[in-house]
Chains A and B, each alone.
Chain A
Amino acid sequence: SQTIHQWPATLVQPVGSPLSLECTVEGTSNPNLYWYRQAAGRGLQLLFYSVGIGQISSEVPQNLSASRPQDRQFILSSKKLLLSDSGFYLCAWRGDYNYNEQFFGPGTRLTVL
């Protein structure tokens, strides 16, 4: 069966510091991968998605970036965090054989102080 991992689970960072969040998927190949952000009490904002290694599409211009160095690895980064970057970051995957079904990882709760 497929599983999706995210780490770290929680993170507290000062303003201006760098960020690296990692997401990996097991049990599938060539998944579509997604990064979402959820502010407290708010909806799901799609940040980036990737249909393959090295292929990144950005949905919202901001100080974040994403990379996909391996088939089942998706990384979210920032060079300098802003207060507004605080939130719950969710990675998600969708496999070709599941058509459109999409599954979320456990999330990383980021607090920028």
Chain B
Amino acid sequence: GENVEQHPSTLSVQEGDSAVIKCTYSDSASNYFPWYKQELGKRPQLIIDIRSNVGEKKDQRIAVTLNKTAKHFSLHITETQPEDSAVYFCAASKGSQGNLIFGKGTKLSVKP
């Protein structure tokens, strides 16, 4: 079955710097890759997603890139702010009914 690896497990950056979180997946048939942000004590919130027919998607300060050949995708956050501090999860699924397989999460800390 699908396996999603996420790195790093923790990431600390200075406010204003960029942050990059990387995920790899094992099933080449996977075609949907969402990213979730989970603040302490809260539910995971979908922040951006990408489907396999595109290589990059941007939404203001966040972007996701997908390399289907290498089977990896990344989350990029530019101009980080303290409120970006949270745990970020990547996930992958295939088909219209495939369950999401989550990475183990990355704890991002943005220091003012």
Contacts of A46 on B, CB cut-off 8 Å? 99
Residues of B within 8 A of A (CB-CB), count: 21
| Inter-subunit contact B97/A51 (CB<8 Å) | yes
Contacts of B96 on A, CB cut-off 8 Å? 96, 99-100
State which residues 50-92 of B face A: CB under 8 Å: 89
State which residues 16-42 of B face A: CB under 8 Å: 32, 34, 36, 41-42
8 extra A-B contacts, CB within 8 A, seeds A43-B104, A96-B96: A44-B89, A46-B99, A90-B43, A99-B96, A100-B98, A101-B34, A104-B43, A107-B42
- A-B contact list, 14 entries, CB within 8 Å: A42-B104, A43-B89, A43-B102, A43-B105, A44-B44, A44-B89, A44-B102, A44-B105, A100-B98, A101-B49, A102-B34, A102-B100, A106-B42, A106-B43
Nearest first, the 6 closest Cβ-Cβ pairs linking A and B are: A100-B32, A104-B43, A43-B104, A44-B102, A104-B44, A43-B105
